[in-house]
Structure 1
């Protein structure tokens, strides 16, 4: 599996927004990565384990969004929410649908499984803040 994916036909640009994906299932990860690449000109970085995700997160100066296969309580307990906030990242949870209200109160998105390409785009748009100088997602 590729660690980073860019939309086909687009040249790599260091300034391209970075989206991190934490997902254990390679097929689900590929679906999310492909959909994100179709939604925006971004660099998507995938990790299948939290330790790998944290190592890749450290390498990035700024992160547009993170799609996390983690429950809200685990994100908060681990402090990952604070680390991602420091990088400017919006958070989208991909598991724990019963946490949806709490996630929304925190300004986080929720991607409910099974999901579609459209739902992935909507989840990304829900956490990106163009008014704060972030890239606008069509």
Structure 2
């Protein structure tokens, strides 16, 4: 868990090195967020930014030049409810939803991926591979 970084620890990063990938984790459960962070960092050289709510996305990503993927604890159908917060913050089409596996068709139609709960490292790899990450 030492690799876990919240947006508070990453907010000082103004921009990002072009060789570093940045992944946002929107997850209320700190243990799940820490597990995702560990799984991501064990396989890639990247920065992970964690937020607990959609309202925190814009602030956490301020100054980040490119976001490569976002793993969000939402259903695809909930995206519209948070569209104002998420559209500005998630400047990527590489969105992976962790809730709403029954909405797979909606996610696929919009170019998003699903990571149904409970998930494991292999499932995370498969979701990321859709975006060549």
Tell whether the structures are fold-level matches, with TM greater than 0.5. Answer: yes
Gaps of 5+ in 2: 10-15
1:69 to 54, 62, 73: 73
What's the offset of the Cα at 1:84?
Answer: 5.4
Match of 1:2? 5
Scaled by the length of structure 1, the TM-score of the pair is 0.76
CA offsets, 1:57-88, max 9 Å, x none? 33322100000001212213322564356x23
Q: Would the alpha carbon gap of residues 84 and 103 (structure 1) be closer, same or farther in structure 2, given more than 3 Å must change?
A: farther
Where in structure 1 do 4 or more consecutive aligned residues deviate above 3 Å? 80-85
Instruction: Flag structure 1 segments of 5+ consecutive residues without an equivalent.
Output: 6-12, 129-136
Listed as ranges, the matches of 1:1-138 within 5 Å are: 2-3=5-6, 14-15=17-18, 16-79=20-83, 82-83=87-88, 87-128=91-132, 137=133
Over residues 82-105 of structure 1, what are the superposed CA-to-partner deviations in whole Å (9 max), with x where a residue is unaligned?
A: 4356x2340000111111111011
Kept in 1, the 8 Å contact 2:57–2:86? The answer is no
How does the TM-score come out when normalised to structure 2?
0.79
Distance 1:63 1:122 in 2: 19
